[in-house]
Structure formats: C-alpha cells, structure tokens
Amino acid sequence: MNRLWFAVVGVVGVAGSVATAQESTPAKPESAPSTAPPAAPSVEFPHPMITEVLYAVPSGDEGDADQNGRRSATGDEFVELMNPHAKPITLKGYTLTDGVVKKGAKSKGEPQIRFVFPELTLKPGEVVVVFNGSDGPPAGPVGDTKTPAARNEKFNNAYVFTMKVKGSFTAFSNEGDCVLLSDPAGKPVECVRWGEESQSPEKAAPRTYDAPESRGSVHREGDEFVPHKNLSGDLGGLPFSPGKVEAAGKR
C-alpha cells in the first residue's frame, strides 16, 4: 500500500496547509500553521479526507470528547475530516454514513447515521469535526446539517458540527461498522471500517481502510489508521484529538 507521510513543522490554530507535489502552496491564513507537503494526497481534488474516527468512546471522564461536561458512549463519537489540497474545497452535499446490516448480497435496512454537510468552504489544511450529538451539543460554536458554525476555539479552531442524533442507540457499532464519505452526487470517496463485517457501507469506496480495535479514536498516520494512543508524534498517548490533525512521520 502506498504511504502518505505528513511532516509537522508547527501548530498554530487549525491544522496547517497541505500541498501536493504538483500544486503550489497558497498563502496560508495567519492562524494556520505550515506543514511540509506530502508526495500526493490520498484523495483526489476536490474531496476532503477522513483523518480521525472515534467509534469506541473511553469510559469515565476521559471519554468526554465533545467537552460538554458529560461522557456519552454515543454522543461523544465523532468523525474528523480535513482539506489536504493546496486549494479551497466546498463540503456542501458531502455525506457521512455508517454501515448497513447485510445478509448475502442483499442489504437489510438503511444506515443509522447520515449527516449531510451544509455550505462550507474549507481552506487548505482546515479541519471539520462531526459529533454524534445524542447527549447534547459539543462545547463552543456548533453547526448542523443546515447551518455551518464559526471556528471553534475549543477544538483547535476547527469547524464543529453535530448530527443531532435522536436516541442513545443510534451510533457506530464497536464490534463492527464503518464510516463512509460520499460526494454530493452520492459517489463513495473513502471508507474506514473496523471489526466484524456484519455492517458494511452501502457502496464500495475506491479507498477503504481497515482500522484496528481501539478504546479511543483511530487516527490517520501516513496512509493507514492506527490507535490514537499509538501515534508516533506529539499526539501519541492521547485518547483522541478532535480538531487537531498531526499526521506523524514514519513509524
């Protein structure tokens, strides 16, 4: 598998600008750090890239990923994405879904989770975090499927959203599930899956990653997903880091 390496040079505000070898790096916003460009992005322009998934929330106070003062086994789940390109991209119409239960070749039911992004332009290196939200909204400014929010300083100035999930049983399955990113036309872009294959994406994605079991998030490092606590960079040892993308060097 080809590996994509990020080298972090600085962290100020949101994650830094990431440019491809074929694209020139634009002037970055004052609040954004800079990073060395990777050899190539893992997704084609103008798609965003999945960088972190929390599907198994740690127990106790450590699990309060959304910083609302309460740990929720479902409400604190999140998916993080970033713009890995040297040009701005728009998220309007992109969709996040979980898996569907399948038997043979026939699907049984629909995804429990479905979040459609509203109008939002992401500059190079900017990050969005989408929480399940079943236990109330995350701390700070929060958007939803209709309205984007301002940058949220509680989450490293990322754009934060809530799915406003109704009910504590609508969530990722720790035993086996996935998160699928699809473009506005419904075409799959990326999929991160884990555990048993009892719940699979509606459609196959051109780039699918098998994430390991992890009590805490799985985070993109290079061109794979690893337990967040096993990251080799400064974020290693933490259970998760919504809003802060620091893809470390070679493991």
Q: What is the pLDDT tens value at each position of the chain, 251 positions in all?
A: 433 333 333 333 334 333 333 344 444 444 443 333 344 567 999 999 999 999 999 999 999 999 999 999 999 999 999 999 999 999 999 999 999 876 655 556 678 899 999 999 999 999 999 999 999 999 999 999 999 988 999 999 999 999 999 887 899 999 999 999 999 999 999 999 999 877 889 888 999 999 999 999 999 998 899 999 999 888 999 999 999 987 433 32
The tokens for 82 are 């970033």
The tokens for 12 are 């100020």
Domain count, the chain: 1
Kindly state whether residue 248 falls inside one of the protein's structural domains: no
Task: Report the C-alpha gap between 219 and 178 in whole angstroms.
Answer: 14
Residue 162, strand partner residues:
131
User: Which of helix, strand or coil describes residue 228?
Assistant: helix
Kindly state whether residue 43 falls inside one of the protein's structural domains: yes
Kindly state whether residue 250 falls inside one of the protein's structural domains: no
**H-state helical runs in 153-209:** none
- Give me the pLDDT at residue 72, please: 96
Kindly state whether residue 246 falls inside one of the protein's structural domains: no
Range of the domain at 49: 7-230
Kindly state whether residue 1 falls inside one of the protein's structural domains: no
54 residue type, one letter: L
The DSSP element (H or E) to which 160 belongs, if any, is strand 158-162
The CATH code of the domain that includes 94 is 2.60.40.1260
Q: Give the strand pairing for 127-131 and 158-162.
A: parallel
pTM above 0.95, yes or no: no
